[in-house]
Chains A and B, each alone.
Chain A
Amino acid sequence: MVNPPLAMLAELTHRCPLSCPYCSNPQELTQKDRELTTAEWTDIFTQAADLGVLQLHLSGGEPASRTDIIELTAAAQRAGLYTNLITSGIGLTRRRLEALQDVGLDHIQLSVQGVSARIADRIGGYKGGFDRKMHVADHIAEMDFPLTLNAVMHRENLNDLPATIEMALRLKARRVEVACVQFQGWALKNRSALQPTRDQVDAAKKTVRDARVRLEGELVIDFVPPDYYSDFPKACMNGWGSTGVNITPDGTVLPCHAAETIPGLHFQRVTDTPLKEIWYESEAFNAYRGTDWMPELCQSCERRDVDFGGCRCQAMAVLNDAGATDPVCTKSPGRAVLDALLEQEVQPEIMPELVYRKL
């Protein structure tokens, strides 16, 4: 029995003023001339709502780089979707924020690259970006826009976690996502620079535990740990093709943002095939759906329906086998490969140059 999706991530564009070295976009980015039109996205939002999607994340790249972001938000609202704008803030003026408010945008998720201009501008690769972002954040707070702060954490800024939580409170966020870098997309190019140390991870977990108690009812703290240090894999996408669907700027429909790294899967475009047909019937969405595809290790595991074998793209990236148990799992024969990578790559005294994302 296949359930309808609950959430859609709409990558409206791959254009972005920032060039974060951990961007989750694919290393091969889509150019502007291949982006979908306003009318095409409007049709997708209607199809999504009809299919059962409740939550829409307008993302990118930087979604505010689309000149039609107001129209797109209005279209999503008309379709009845809970609409969240995932933005760096760059390109949002007071006027545009007010227009977004007028068309009913439900929520803003603002990314932060660091707690000071020095580190944020270095990670974002954009001088002056931090100051502009803080300016936008002030507008968001003044307008009482529901806000989540999304802080991507890695070796260079994980020690700033307490200050990051303070920043969320200062900006009147109701929620903060402390998301340690997951190694897909551009982050794979920078793994040895971004991977935190075990000591950092232990300290971060304690900070989160304490802050959750101290700030209960004031700030929700969601924490995504760096999974290479976990014993069991993340329940990636809550299972392939189970709850979420991702649309790339040219309309390609994916089970997750990194799925195109898996060779042999053919992904259809929503401009050629209805979304419903792709979700329920396409070979790509059915490839790792449910439990039949799993290796025996996962099939017979008591965590089979807890973590669903983990992340297919990670099995691909680390073991070159998308059908293997996620190498994070301590029961997996692939765990030794991951441990060797950690040993080899995490050398705190060596700081490799960052490879920045570029279109």
Chain B
Amino acid sequence: MNDLSVPVLPRGVRRHFDKVRGVPVLLGPERVLMLDEIGCAILDQVNGVSTLEEISTRLSEIYAAPKEDISTDVAAFLTDLGNKKLLDGSHG
């Protein structure tokens, strides 16, 4: 995953709100990932069009935070999802 990658949730992976536990989750094969606020904020920007770079820019604007810090977090979070095959990253 690099700045030009376009992350997208693949078929078979989807977001869901767990009403019983009151938390947002990411569901995939044999996987339930509880999402925190940061995870949700990043995934909100994952639309299959935006690059990693664009996602970081937008989040740094929304949260008025330095882009370097944001892009490190975004890359780490999405790379981890990618290694679990819960996310695909194509080059747009």
- To the question of whether A and B form a pair in one complex, the answer is yes
Q: A54-B27, A109-B29, A222-B30 are in contact. Are A146 and B82 (CB under 8 A)?
A: no
Encoded as 1 (CB less than 8 Å from any B CB) or 0, chain A from 140 to 176 comes to 0000111010000000000000000000000000110
CB of A106 within 8 A of chain B?
yes
Check A4–B21 contact: CB distance below 8 A: yes
Check A52–B20 contact: CB distance below 8 A: yes
Q: Which B residues are CB-close (under 8 A) to A220?
A: 83-85
CB of A6 within 8 A of chain B?
yes
- Which chain B residues (34-76) contact chain A, with CB distance < 8 Å? none
With contacts defined as CB atoms under 8 Å apart, how many contacts are there between chain A and chain B in the complex? 57
Min distance, Cβ A258 to any Cβ of chain B, angstroms: 19
Check B20–A4 contact: CB distance below 8 A: yes
Chain A residues bordering chain B, tally (CB within 8 A): 24
Contact for A174 among B20, B32, B85, CB less than 8 A: B85
Check B83–A82 contact: CB distance below 8 A: no
Chain B residues bordering chain A, tally (CB within 8 A): 19
Check B14–A106 contact: CB distance below 8 A: yes
Check A54–B11 contact: CB distance below 8 A: no
Closest to A222 in B: B30
Check B21–A146 contact: CB distance below 8 A: no
CB of A73 within 8 A of chain B?
no
Check A216–B12 contact: CB distance below 8 A: no
Q: Which A residues are CB-close (under 8 A) to B30?
A: 55, 84, 148, 175, 222
Q: Which positions in B face A, CB cutoff 8 Å?
A: 10-14, 16, 18, 20-21, 25, 27-30, 32, 82-85
The 9 closest A-B pairs by CB, nearest first: A146-B12, A52-B20, A82-B27, A174-B85, A107-B29, A220-B85, A107-B12, A148-B29, A54-B32
Q: Which positions in A face B, CB cutoff 8 Å?
A: 4, 6, 50-52, 54-55, 80, 82, 84, 106-107, 109, 144-146, 148, 174-175, 216-217, 219-220, 222
